[in-house]
Structure 1
Amino acid sequence: MALKTPEQYIESLRDGRVTYWDGENIADITKNARFKVPLDLVANDYRYDDPAAGRLRRYTTEDGSEAHRIYEVPRTPEDLNTRIDLLRHTSIGTAVSGVFMALMQVKDAVAEVNPMYAENIERMYKYCRDNDLRGAEVITDPKGDRKRRAHEQDDPDLYVRIVERRKDGIVVRGAKLHITAASVIHELVVMPTKGMRQDETDYAVSFSIPVNAPGVKIINRSFAPAELNAFDYPASAHHSMPEGLVVFDDVFVPWDRVFLAGEVQLASRLAQSLGLWERTGGLIGAVNISEMFVGLAQLVTEMQGKESDAVAQNSIAELITYAEMLRMSLDYATRHYETTPSGMVHPNTLAVNAAKYYYAANYHQTVRYLHDLSGGLVLTLPLESDLRNEESGKYIRKYLATKKSVDVETRMRVYNLIRDLTADAFGGWHFVVALQAGGGLPAQRLMMNRLYPLQQARERALAAAGATRRPGDGSQAKIAAE
């Protein structure tokens, strides 16, 4: 199959999918104003003739055809670095197709339990790759009462579950929350939200199903209105993407689309593999936005004539430290890559989790430095319409002036970007996303505790303490007196 054009991508979404927004059942999302920005973003990733990024977007598959590089399984460190570069230039509506990297990463482990599921993973991966489709990461269940397991809920559907097993497939019911780009992609790739126990076999389920499959319904929400002035909202006007509550109302899934159906020992493996690639994507975005913060901080400092101010310089240094820690962490994670038995190269799992934790745990504090440098004007700056008005505009240009080398309109654009990135539409969304995307802080803590060489660290500490016996070996640790 040939690579799609942006126009063919748009046409492919006219498939009868059921999607709601603001109380409206939208029959054709390609003609609805709320979807214009999201569709433009994803459609741009189909511009394979783009002189700047077109070559980066495509690669040659093992059978000699061309496909979007989001589907390239890294086999060398160079492949991995190219993927990192790709994700710097890719919308989140395409980046979520990285869910197939998670599936391909665990394919070997799945094959040991059920070869049919591994074959299904390979087939669905190639089907989406060869038809230039996009898939969404569908993982987070509503969970209900968090003190109870999946099968203990008052409503058994609060985790996606198998309600019927048939000769030709399974029937599933439930919902998934926070599904980025669900309405603007082609395949919903469902993964377990966490590990399951033996008495939760119906909840250990993974599959891929078309968005327009009977029984699938999506309820959308976005941080931005349909239309925003790009001067006043330089980020939100171009980068919004809907989040979906995806409902599976007794959806039939053929066996050749099933990756897991009751094998509880694999549930956590699938969930963790998706976490790695999702956190890697979050780390790439963190590097980009932290570098942006440094640039914005320097600009507002210069515009205010505070280049030599010690407090300002200290704040910028804090922002630089944050940006460099993230950049070095991403570099470390890719240089100290890991390899699966089948030869996939992926970022260092411990490094990615530690870096994502550092990013999320310090994001809000970091934004404070930028707000402190910028001042209240971040929130009270007049709108572009007031700047363009002949009468009000002259006062804006007069009273927002700082020094002759600073253009007032440029100053307004800088402040608008700070507000939009950190204190308004996009900023409000990102304040939560920075913390929760890829799993909240406890998820990264759990992975770090599992992956860090604790025994090695323990032995080194004992040796440094001069202990001749290990704690817990039947006697108190004896400290050498020599």
Structure 2
Amino acid sequence: MHKAAGVHSGASFVASLDDEREVWYDGQRVDVRTHPAFAGVLGELGRLYDLQHSDAHHKEMTWTSPQTGHPLSLSYLAPATPAEFAAKTRNSHLWMEHSHGQLPRIPDFVANVVVGLYDYRHELGKVDPQFARNAENYYLYCREHDIALTHAIGDPQIDRSASLAEHPDNALRIVERRADGVVVRGAKQLATLAPYCHEVMVYLSPAFFMRSAPEYVIWFALPIATPNLRLMCRESQTEHRNSFRHDLSSRYDEQDAMLFFDDVFIPNHRIFLLGDCQTAAAGFARISAWALYVGQIRFYHRLRTFLGVAGLAAKAIGVKDFREIGDQLGELTSYVELVRLAIVGLQNELRPTSGGHLAPGVTLALDAFAAQVSARVAQIVRVVCGSGLVMQPSEADLANPVLRPLLERYMGGKDVDVVFKSRLFRLATELVSDRYGMRQELYEMWNRGDIVRNRIALFESYPARAAIEANIVALLDGASAALHAANSGPEST
């Protein structure tokens, strides 16, 4: 357990990862603090944590613990007033702005899931009073120690056509119940940022709640360095990359991991819910309210990055004033502005929760919109940049005295030299064409859940729908009455 010291600095965060975590990369067990595949993101996380101590942002990113007097991250503030919510929003904008929207599972995100868990504690307490106490204690622990969390809610892709009875490994399950806790077996996938986190929070996806399988319903949190919890990371896009060729992936490839729970013991005090499908299904959205809002702030800053790259690229090759390119840039700008306005709207539709806090408006429409337009945004950058995404000189090419005059003449741009243009178009390539960009695009498609399910849920839960439909019925009734009167008048005889 970490000593309570308030917000991390970059150095204290890196030092806090010195534990017995079992992280596997490319067939080898590794130390994330020293392995080159993890260096880029580790450095960026350290830089972001240092913002909390900087003169420029300390007051905008922290608040004072009522228990210890230590500065705490505003990511962990459970807002009870509009001013507190506004302070949280500003903090999230700083995290996302300083990472250019490139870290979807930045520590600010799952911290807000823990805020949601704390807010939902009274409902958990109706199932078992101990669950409420556990949720509150865990929130306080994370808050006071600036805990970095991942969450693991995706199930392995083994045979999703099979039932749980036919293939019990399709979902994490309890295999032993003890007086002091439970033992779980199974796997969870795509735990983003997991190698760099202190803890993992697990709350199963709604798909299994709908199947009324209470034996699979378990919410809990554990240290990453828990015995028999193994993390297998995907191939890194950071290792052997430099900032000239790979400005984004060398710094922001945040890693995804499969988590293998090989008969892992969960003590009672770390369990937040067991066996109650209804409470789990109702709580899945409740505990994500603040995190989903933060996710939209991150998407906004990601769109701004696309807009900045596309605009600079259009200028660099002299096409900004071409009508068809201006149309594409205007479309991209409209997405940026629509998301900004939606975030403002969410902030101005604060709603009180049963837990005594203020939650933002529902994000379902924005969730669907982001998944819908992210591929289109990438396509706009491809159109603007054209063949420049394919052919740019390397750092060695630029350093070659024979090639350099040719590169300046034939591969420079409008009012920019060949070095700037090469780096800019390489940045664009990472955003929309290479393996890093494709991973990010897949993430945008799926990280908010199934877009079809979200659209259906949006329609079914839309509060104005009944009034709108009633207006249409009244319009039809009025038209029918008018038609009947016309047909019953003197002229009809």
Calculate the TM-score normalised by the size of structure 1. 0.91
Aligned to 1:213: 226
The answer on whether the counterparts of 1:136 and 1:179 sit within 8 Å (CA) in structure 2 is: yes
Tell me the CA shift for residue 317 of structure 1. Answer: 1.2
Tell me the CA shift for residue 236 of structure 1. Answer: 1.3
SS at match of 1:481: helix
Partner Cα separation in structure 2 for residue 382 and residue 289 of structure 1: 26
The answer on whether the counterparts of 2:431 and 2:437 sit within 8 Å (CA) in structure 1 is: yes
Aligned to 1:474: none
Pick the aligned partner of 2:88 from 83, 90, 97.
83
Distance 1:438 1:277, change over 3 A: farther
Alignment of 1:397-476 (within 5 A): 397-403=408-414, 405-453=415-463, 454-466=465-477
Stretch deviating more after TM superposition (447-456 or 89-98): 89-98
- Structure 2: which 5+ runs fail to align? 96-102, 486-493
Alignment of 1:21-36 (within 5 A): 21-26=25-30, 28-36=31-39
The answer on whether the counterparts of 1:286 and 1:359 sit within 8 Å (CA) in structure 2 is: yes
Partner Cα separation in structure 2 for residue 281 and residue 396 of structure 1: 43
Pick the aligned partner of 2:44 from 28, 41, 44.
41
Aligned to 1:136: 150
1:18 aligns with 2:22: yes
1:371 aligns with 2:374: no
Tell me the CA shift for residue 219 of structure 1. Answer: 0.4
Distance 1:222 1:73, change over 3 A: farther
Partner Cα separation in structure 2 for residue 369 and residue 132 of structure 1: 39
Alignment of 1:189-338 (within 5 A): 189-194=201-206, 196=209, 200-222=213-235, 224-338=237-351
Stretch deviating more after TM superposition (205-214 or 3-12): 3-12
Tell me the CA shift for residue 21 of structure 1. Answer: 0.6
Tell me the CA shift for residue 78 of structure 1. Answer: 2.8
Distance 1:44 1:5, change over 3 A: same
Q: How many residues align?
A: 468
Partner Cα separation in structure 2 for residue 84 and residue 103 of structure 1: 19
Partner Cα separation in structure 1 for residue 243 and residue 56 of structure 2: 23
Tell me the CA shift for residue 167 of structure 1. Answer: 0.9
Tell me the CA shift for residue 109 of structure 1. Answer: 1.9
Aligned to 2:66: 62
The answer on whether the counterparts of 2:154 and 2:188 sit within 8 Å (CA) in structure 1 is: yes
SS at match of 2:213: helix
Pick the aligned partner of 1:127 from 138, 141, 149.
141
Alignment of 1:356-395 (within 5 A): 356-395=367-406
The answer on whether the counterparts of 1:386 and 1:393 sit within 8 Å (CA) in structure 2 is: yes
Partner Cα separation in structure 2 for residue 284 and residue 107 of structure 1: 26
Paired amino acid for 1:288: H
Partner Cα separation in structure 1 for residue 13 and residue 291 of structure 2: 24
SS at match of 2:402: helix
Paired amino acid for 1:442: V
Calculate the TM-score normalised by the size of structure 2. 0.89
Distance 1:116 1:191, change over 3 A: same
Aligned to 1:471: none
Partner Cα separation in structure 2 for residue 40 and residue 430 of structure 1: 20
Partner Cα separation in structure 2 for residue 423 and residue 77 of structure 1: 41
Percent identity, aligned pairs only, is 25
Partner Cα separation in structure 1 for residue 141 and residue 9 of structure 2: 18
SS at match of 2:403: helix
The answer on whether the counterparts of 2:159 and 2:170 sit within 8 Å (CA) in structure 1 is: no
Aligned to 2:13: 9
